[in-house]
A = this chain, B = another copy of it.
Amino acid sequence: MSSYTAPVADIRFALHDVLGVEALFQRLGLSEATADIIDAVLEEAARFSGTVLAPLNSVGDEIGSVFDKSTAAVTTPPGFKQAYDQFVEGGWTGLTAAPEFGGQGLPHTLGVPLNEMVNAANLAWGNFPLLSHGAVEALKHHGEAWQQEVFLKPLIEGRWTGTMCLTEPHCGTDLGLLKTRAEPNADGSYSITGTKIFITAGEHDLTDNIVHLVLAKLPDAPPGPKGISLFVTPKFKVARDGTVGERNALACGSIEHKMGIKASVTCVMNFDGAQGYLVGQPHKGLQAMFTMMNTARLGVGLQGIGLSERAYQNALRYSRERLQSRSLSGAKFPDKPADPIIVQPDVRRMLLTIKSLTEGSRLLALHAATLIDVAHHAQDPAERERADTLVSFLTPISKACQTEWGIENTYHALQCFGGHGYIHEHGMEQLARDARITTLYEGTTGIQALDLMGRKTAASQAAGLKLFLAEIEAFAREHEGDADLAEFIKPLRDQASEWAMLTREVLERAARDPEEIGAASYDYLFYSGYVVLAYWWARSVAAARGKDTNLATAKRETARFYYARILPRTMAHAAHIRSGAKALMALDEALFG
């Protein structure tokens, strides 16, 4: 079994030393979030995730959630409900939610370490509370007052959970094709009919009610994505006064058998004239859906970090314990029968790859979270807008890169174990299987790439990129002539220039041929992700100076590794981008095989 201890020290370094969140929170008027409170949240989240959730991870994988066809009920693995009750009791579901709906009103940023820890400890379990956030966001921004009154409190308190019912058998990415219908009733409600698939936590035994946010088409809907509306459709009917009534006409039809996250329930949901209420304007459901999805995407990005961290801890332990062969430069532990494999350069390559991608990603994710707090709480509207633009730009990078790196990292960690990594009992193969979902759900990597290159870059004059480049340049200027940082500043600046140039080149080509957007998107996404992390590694070195010597040394050497052994991947991505669409589009579809 793999073990997990929350990396509180590195999270504290990121929050306090690199991002300076305490001062930021004060400036934003989030004055309750003092250093003491932040540290207390981290310590308590670490305790809960490490002692309550982590031990349930392998049980969840082995037993899984079970569907009973005769009752359409789902039973979660042993211990899941008790853990969920403790989570609710601890107030974790409302940590960052608005106090007027029962939340604790702490900054959004503080939810990120919590989620990283939950995901690391037990990814499948974490999917139950995760989706509630999306439902809360959708209702908060688009729901009528009575809907907020009735649904938000139980969702935030964790007494109910939420879902996002988007996908149908014939449509996932292209929601314009969806067939689920909503017929208006005399009482102002709607009858929802249709089949949704891949509904995470669509049915379970953790809470009394489940609040489904469902995309459907009204009778007068225009065709395509502009004809989609959003409905709130609970498992048990809820009246406008909040009274919970009879069972609604919806049920789980079956659950999927998956490669991993076996305790997370993936439901086929059948709506047979279920009572629902319109959320937001008719035919404007796609917009409300994006509200849900952006939250969920950043959340899935954290799954990549959590799994990477757990993978790293176990690979590191094994690499220190496993005695095999000698160092090429002579025995390092001559008193032992062989050296631990961590003396081998190639094992170090794998470990440092995981370490540098994970700690770098943590800053990418936490920075994005601070931007959300700024976008919500800054006094200056320009600052709010700037933060919003930047976080929109970073969202697809964060989601896609962190999850792809999560897969890469769990791969390396398993590889450190040799053949033992392939055996179930060591727990490494579960991490790899669990990680595999993260680049698929909430928009595949290809979809994130298209979002970044198309909507967030081509369609917005690269507004987000410009803001990020300005951050890099400000940092570089601040440390101009700083001999200690020169080894990072120069390559970072070069890389930033190339990033800008590549962007211009793609947009120029795209003006003539729109396929250039799709052709560049995947490599552009990774190019961007690697430069973003290069920035955070340079800032980490700067922030660690003068702190604890071991920390400063570890950050500097890991940054050097990153610049020498990871950042050059951008060379291949740049070459791929520059080769253009032709190499992808030339072969006739009929000749593929």
Q: Could you list which residues of chain A lie within 8 angstroms of chain B, going by C-beta atoms? A: 7, 167, 170-174, 177, 198, 256-260, 312-313, 316, 320, 323-325, 327-329, 337-338, 342-349, 351-352, 355, 407, 411, 414-415, 418-419, 421-425, 429, 432-433, 436-437, 439-441, 444-446, 449-450, 513-515, 517-519, 521-522, 550, 553-554, 557-558, 560-561, 564-565, 568-572, 575-576, 579, 581-589, 591-593
B259-A422 in contact (CB<8A): yes
Q: Are B316 and A593 in contact (CB under 8 A)?
A: yes
- Could you jot down 29 A-B contacts, CB within 8 Å? A7-B593, A171-B324, A177-B323, A177-B338, A258-B429, A259-B422, A259-B432, A328-B515, A342-B589, A343-B589, A345-B518, A345-B519, A345-B581, A345-B585, A346-B450, A346-B518, A349-B522, A352-B587, A415-B445, A419-B440, A421-B440, A429-B436, A553-B591, A561-B584, A565-B576, A565-B584, A568-B572, A568-B576, A572-B572
Known: A584-B345, A589-B342. A177 touches B425 (CB 8 A): no
Q: A347 to B593: give the CA distance in the assembly, Å.
A: 15
> Could you say which residues of chain B place their CB within 8 Å of the CB of A589?
320, 342-343
CA distance A258 to B417 in the complex (A): 14
Task: Choose from B347, B415, B560 the contact partner of A440 (Cβ within 8 Å).
Answer: B415
Q: Which of B171, B425, B576, B586 contacts A257 (CB 8 A)?
A: B425
Are the CB atoms of A172 and B324 closer together than 8 Å?
A: yes
CB-CB under 8 A from A327, the residues of chain B are 515
B contact residues around A437 at 8 Å (CB): 422
- Given the known inter-chain contacts A415-B445, A522-B346, please indicate yes or no for A587 contacting B557, CB distance below 8 A: yes
Q: How far is the CA of A425 from the CA of B591 in the complex (A)?
A: 28
Shortest 3 CB-CB contacts between residues of A and residues of B = A568-B575, A564-B579, A345-B518
**A525 CB to nearest B CB, Å:** 10
Q: A259-B424, A316-B592, A347-B446 are contacts. A587–B561 as well, Cβ < 8 Å?
A: yes
- Shortest beta-carbon distance, A199 to chain B, in Å? 11
Cα separation A557 to B257 with both chains bound (whole Å):
38
Q: Which residue of B lies closest to A324 (CB)?
A: B174
A582 to B487, CA, bound (A): 15
Q: Which residues of B contact A258 (CB under 8 A)?
A: 422-424, 429
Please give the distance in Å from A53's CB to the nearest CB on chain B: 21
The smallest beta-carbon distance between A22 and chain B, in angstroms, is: 25
Contacts of A421 in B (CB 8 A): 440
Q: How far is the CA of A575 from the CA of B574 in the complex (A)?
A: 14
Which chain B residue shows the least CB distance to A446? Answer: B346
Identify A436's interface contact among B174, B198, B324, B422, CB under 8 A: B422
Complex Cα distance, B450 from A316, in Å, reads 21
* A419:B198 contact, CB within 8 angstroms: yes
Residue of B nearest to A309 (CB): B593
Verify A329–B515 contact, CB threshold 8 A: yes
A256-B423, A346-B518, A422-B437 known; 19 new pairs, CB 8 Å cut-off, are A177-B324, A257-B423, A258-B423, A259-B422, A259-B424, A316-B592, A342-B589, A346-B450, A346-B521, A349-B519, A407-B411, A415-B446, A422-B440, A553-B587, A553-B591, A554-B587, A560-B586, A564-B582, A568-B572
**In the complex the two chains form, what is the Cα distance from A259 to B346 in whole Å?**
24
In the complex, the chain B residue whose C-beta lies closest to that of A588 is: B553
Chain B positions within 8 Å of A198 at CB level:
419
Q: How far is the CA of A591 from the CA of B342 in the complex (A)?
A: 12
Query: What is the bound-complex CA distance between A437 and B428, given in angstroms?
Result: 13
Q: Contact: A444 with B415, CB < 8 Å?
A: yes
Given contacts A440-B422, A557-B591, contact A348 B585 (CB under 8 A): yes
- Residues of chain B lying within 8 A (CB to CB) of residue A564: 576, 579, 582-583
A328/B440 contact (C-beta < 8 A), A572-B571, A572-B572, A585-B345 known: no
> CB-CB < 8 A to A422: which residues of B?
256, 258-260, 436-437, 440
Contacts of A338 in B (CB 8 A): 174, 177
A258 to B433 alpha-carbon distance, docked (Å): 12
User: In the assembly, what is the distance between CA of A422 and CA of B261, in Å?
Assistant: 10
**How far is B329's CA from A141's CA once the two chains are assembled, in angstroms?**
34
Cα A558 to Cα B517 with chains together (Å): 21
A172 engages B418 (CB within 8 Å): yes
- A552 nearest CB across to chain B (Å): 10
Are the C-beta atoms of A554 and B591 separated by less than 8 Å? yes
Contact among B259, B344, B450, B521 for A429, CB-based, below 8 A: B259
Closest CB in chain B relative to A205 CB, distance in Å:
23
Partner pick for A173 among B324, B429, B581, CB 8 A cutoff: B324
Minimum C-beta distance from A131 to chain B (A): 15
Q: For residue A570, which residue of chain B has the nearest CB?
A: B572
The docked-state distance in angstroms from the alpha carbon of A53 to that of B373 is 57
Give the chain B neighbours of A418 by CB distance below 8 A. 172-173, 440, 444
